[in-house]
């Protein structure tokens, strides 16, 4: 519930509107994705739902009216361990916003964390894909990596747009906060890397 509230706060602050019919990526228009920069007011608002902007990566995609695939790849000690959160969405608004985040829950029985991908502007606007995972052991150093500038999306390969990186404190690896554009080194130098990737859909709907 708090996760959904958090995302509603984010998208409420952004407040985008518009509607049209999606087109096929083969029609040749250029679609780009860019990182969203939080304003001071948004920073304060998101803190009210017990998270911080460092635990939420938000991106704008323009123009809209597209079909897009998303996934999260988990790399551990330099090798792919798992892929989850895979989803495809049809976006009908002129502008699209997606977010990739991490929420942690602490209960008497068990501590859990929840990865999510949320979107605004799709035919199912407000859709949230969530995957629960066990809370890591204590002594975890964590940072995020994200696109530094606008990038073009294509339908022939996934583009890594953001990542959550974590290492045990006693491990000297992971002290360098690298940009997502240096993904190969980011994966190699850190214990656990969770990467959000996107691409335009190339299949039939």
Q: What is d(CA 97, CA 34) in angstroms, rounded to the nearest whole number?
A: 10
Q: What is d(CA 107, CA 109) in angstroms, rounded to the nearest whole number?
A: 5
| pLDDT value of residue 186 | 92
Tokens representing 86 are 């895979």
Per residue in 100-144, pLDDT (tens digit) is: 988 776 667 766 777 888 888 776 655 566 666 655 555 577 888
Kindly indicate the confidence band of residue 9, based on its pLDDT and cuts at 50, 70 and 90.
Answer: very low
Tokens representing 35 are 């990182």
| pLDDT value of residue 135 | 57
Neighbouring-strand partners of residue 59: 35, 98
Per residue in 165-203, pLDDT (tens digit) is: 988 765 555 456 788 999 999 999 898 899 999 999 975
Q: What is d(CA 22, CA 49) in angstroms, rounded to the nearest whole number?
A: 33
What is the mean pLDDT of the segment spanning 137-155? 84
* Residue 93: partners with Cβ closer than 8 Å, 6 or more residues away: 16, 17, 18, 19, 20, 64, 65, 120, 121, 122, 125
| pLDDT value of residue 118 | 86
**pLDDT tops 50 at residue 8:** no
Tokens 């199912």 found at: 124
Number of CB atoms found within 10 A of residue 160's CB: 20
Per residue in 16-69, pLDDT (tens digit) is: 334 444 445 445 579 999 998 778 887 777 666 545 555 789 999 998 889 999
Per residue in 65-95, pLDDT (tens digit) is: 899 999 999 999 999 999 988 888 888 888 7
Instruction: For residue 98, give the 3-state DSSP assignment.
Output: strand
Mean pLDDT of all residues in the chain? 76
β strands within the chain, DSSP E: 31-35, 56-62, 66-76, 79-91, 96-106, 111-120, 128-134, 140-146, 151-153, 159-168, 192-200
Q: Model's pTM, two decimal places?
A: 0.77
Tokens representing 166 are 């974590």
């Amino acid at each position: 519930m708090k996760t959904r509230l958090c995302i509603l706060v984010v998208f409420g602050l952004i407040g985008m509107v518009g509607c049209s019919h999606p087109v096929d990526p083969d029609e040749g228009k250029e679609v780009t994705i860019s990182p969203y920069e939080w304003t001071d007011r948004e920073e304060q608002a998101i803190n009210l739902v017990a998270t911080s902007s460092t635990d939420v990566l938000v991106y704008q995609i323009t123009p809209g009216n597209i079909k897009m695939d998303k996934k999260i790849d988990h790399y551990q000690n330099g090798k792919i361990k798992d892929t989850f959160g895979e989803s495809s969405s049809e976006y009908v608004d002129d502008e699209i916003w997606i977010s990739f985040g991490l929420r942690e829950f602490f209960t008497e029985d068990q501590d859990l964390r929840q990865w999510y991908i949320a979107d605004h502007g799709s035919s199912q606007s407000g859709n949230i894909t969530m995957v629960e995972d066990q809370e890591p052991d204590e002594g975890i150093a964590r940072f995020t990596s994200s696109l530094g500038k606008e990038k073009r999306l294509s339908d022939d390969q996934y583009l890594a747009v953001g990542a959550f990186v974590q290492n045990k404190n006693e491990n000297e690896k992971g002290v360098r906060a690298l940009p997502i554009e240096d993904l190969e080194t980011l994966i190699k130098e850190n214990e656990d890397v969770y990467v959000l990737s996107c691409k335009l859909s190339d299949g039939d709907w």
